[in-house]
Amino acid sequence: MKHVAAFVFSGLLFAAAGSQAVSACGDKFLLVGRGVRFEQAYAAIHPASILIVLPVKSVKSAAVRDSRLVTALKNAGHKVEVVQQPANLADALSRSRRDIVLVERADVAALHDIAPPAGQSKPSIVGVLEDASPSALTDAKRQLEYVLPTPTSLGHILNLMDDVMKARLDSVRRGAAGS
């Protein structure tokens, strides 16, 4: 009997050593370190054409200079173009339709002087504030429709882009229903 028990035990031990863990559909993502990051799995609800305006080179720490921002926006399904301020701004806005323009708050005034091409709506302007104080943030929210305080997570930026596009689409639908 001892020999049979030893034989069964060694057989079970051999089978257990050669087996692999089998996970159900989503269980493998629950394992430590195997999850999909939000920015990699996120797809924009309303893909947009986004223009990122880089300030002059003297502003080295500008939030819009972060290469991860462009990558995250493209991975989410947005079309992204980056231009230098102020030289290429008018050309970039006239070349194609833009839904959103991300620009440092100090450079917002330059956008108001540029008229969109005939038949195109004006893009939504998102003013980017770098390490803003609460009073500066409140002041910017009074002046601009959309404000992006930085530093902030890429997930927050992606959600803001969706909110801006949803507001644009709702505005177009209200305008079409009113006509």
Instruction: Answer for the pair 82, 33: CB distance below 8 angstroms, yes or no.
Output: no
CA atoms of 6 and 112, how far apart (whole Å): 85
pLDDT of residue 125: 86
pLDDT of residue 137: 81
**Residue the block writes with tokens 């050669």:** 18
Q: Where are the domains of the chain?
A: 38-178
Which residues are within 8 A (CB) of 148 and not within 5 positions of it... i.e. 6 or more apart? 63, 102, 126, 127, 128, 129, 157, 160
Q: Mean pLDDT of residues grouped by 10 in the chain (179 residues)?
A: 81 71 62 55 80 71 72 88 75 80 78 68 83 81 84 85 89 71
Which architecture, in CATH terms, is 38-178? 3-Layer(aba) Sandwich (3.40)
Q: For residue 149, which phi and psi values (nearest 5 degrees)?
A: -75, 140
pLDDT of residue 115: 66
pLDDT of residue 86: 64
Instruction: Answer for the pair 154, 69: CB distance below 8 angstroms, yes or no.
Output: yes
Between the two ends of the chain, the Cα-to-Cα distance in Å is 91
CA atoms of 147 and 165, how far apart (whole Å): 14
**Residue the block writes with tokens 């959103």:** 100
pLDDT of residue 96: 80
**Per-residue CA distances from 9 to 19, 20, 21, 93, 141 (Å):** 15, 19, 20, 75, 71
pLDDT of residue 118: 65
